[in-house]
Structure 1
Amino acid sequence: MRTLKAVSHGIDVMNQWVGKGVAWVTLGLVAVVFIDVVMRYAFKSSFVFTQELEWHLFAFIFLIGAGYTLFHDGHVRVDIIYQRLNAKGRAWINLLGVLLFLIPGCVMIIATSWHFVLRSWAVLEGSPDPGGIHFRFLVKGCIPLGFTLLLLQGISLGIKSLLQLIDPQGEKEGPH
């Protein structure tokens, strides 16, 4: 059990660091959107570069931050049933959710995105629009990376849920 706790803790720490880095990227996205809005409405001008940068940054934040969001229990959940359950019931829901949905979903997306991502990297894919960003391949690389981080955090949640079921007193915090 000590090894499982150590693995879970290591994954949690990694995703915490990643999430803190993503938070800074979020500030960058706010700045880019602000500049785009000012340029569009004050100066009647818009640049393809800033518009593409907005969605590149959003994709990065969404994909890379998914594991961090799972760590903080920030993903959508139907709380009508979950919140009424005791710690053991919530641990079962989390464990089954991880095993039946999260892990298979992440593995499927990682596996099916590789060809798409490798092709993009092979040609150093960029924007087809004049003035667009020439690094689209980097954003596509975030797909398997982000889902790997989410998969790892799901494994951590599964470990914590399993430990909660095996030894409810040893894991007082519950699955998080």
Structure 2
Amino acid sequence: MQKIANYIDHFTEQTGKYVSWISLILVALIGVDVVLRYAFSWSSSANQELEWHLFAALFLLGSAYALKHDKHVRVDVFYSRFSDTKKAWVNLIGTMIFLIPFCIVMIKTSIPFVIDAWYISESSPEPGGLPHRFIVKSTIPLGALLLLIQAIAQGLKALSTILNIEIK
């Protein structure tokens, strides 16, 4: 149980480091877009769509990393005052009842959507928009899979805390 959680954490950490480069590319692209728009009165549908696609990929592929580092959104009314064991129970129950089923539904429902996009070589309907929209759509099930894998690690860590097993 401990080794599996550690392997998953390491995998998520490495994936998160690679995905974080998308944010640098996104910031540079937005900077160039702003300069082109305001200094040269030039804008492009493709630039704007690329920004959306990069943001979507960053959000979807980085969600597992955010979960691993407990940087996800949490309604923290009582949680911060709980003992580690109570926090582990909340995390385990939330992971088992909400997160894992959500990831499974996302994967199952998005795969046909992505297959259709690949089959028709979906591209932007906008004039001057990006081709190959199916690539960014592929990040939906991939991001859900990464999140599911990290959810399993989070559940194992919560279970270890509840059972008083030390994770090294």
What TM-score, normalized by structure 2, do the two folds share? 0.96
The alignment covers a number of residue pairs equal to: 168
Question: What is the alpha-carbon distance in structure 2 between the residues aligned to residue 171 and residue 123 of structure 1?
Answer: 47
Is 1:160–2:157 an aligned residue pair? yes
State the partner residue of 1:102. 99
User: Percent identity at matched positions?
Assistant: 48
Question: What is the alpha-carbon distance in structure 2 between the residues aligned to residue 131 and residue 14 of structure 1?
Answer: 38
Runs of 4+ in 1 over 4 A off after TM superposition: none
State the partner residue of 1:30. 27
Which residue of 90, 103, 106 corresponds with 2:87? 90
Which residue of 142, 146, 149 corresponds with 1:149? 146
- Equivalent residue runs for 1:121-132 within 5 Å: 121-132=118-129
Which structure has more RCO (C-alpha within 8 Å, separation ≥ 6)?
2
What TM-score, normalized by structure 1, do the two folds share? 0.92
Which residue of 50, 53, 67 corresponds with 1:53? 50
Is 1:19–2:26 an aligned residue pair? no
Q: Could you list the runs of 5+ residues in structure 1 that have no partner in the other structure?
A: none
State the partner residue of 1:64. 61
C-alpha contact 2:2 2:167 (8 A) present in aligned 1: no
Q: Could you list the runs of 5+ residues in structure 2 that have no partner in the other structure?
A: none
Aligned-pair Cα RMSD in Å: 1.1
Query: Per-residue CA shift, 1:65-96, capped at 9, x if unaligned?
Result: 00000000011112221110000000000000
State the partner residue of 1:74. 71
C-alpha contact 2:29 2:51 (8 A) present in aligned 1: yes
SS in 2 for 1:79: coil
- The structural deviation recorded for 1:171 is 4.0
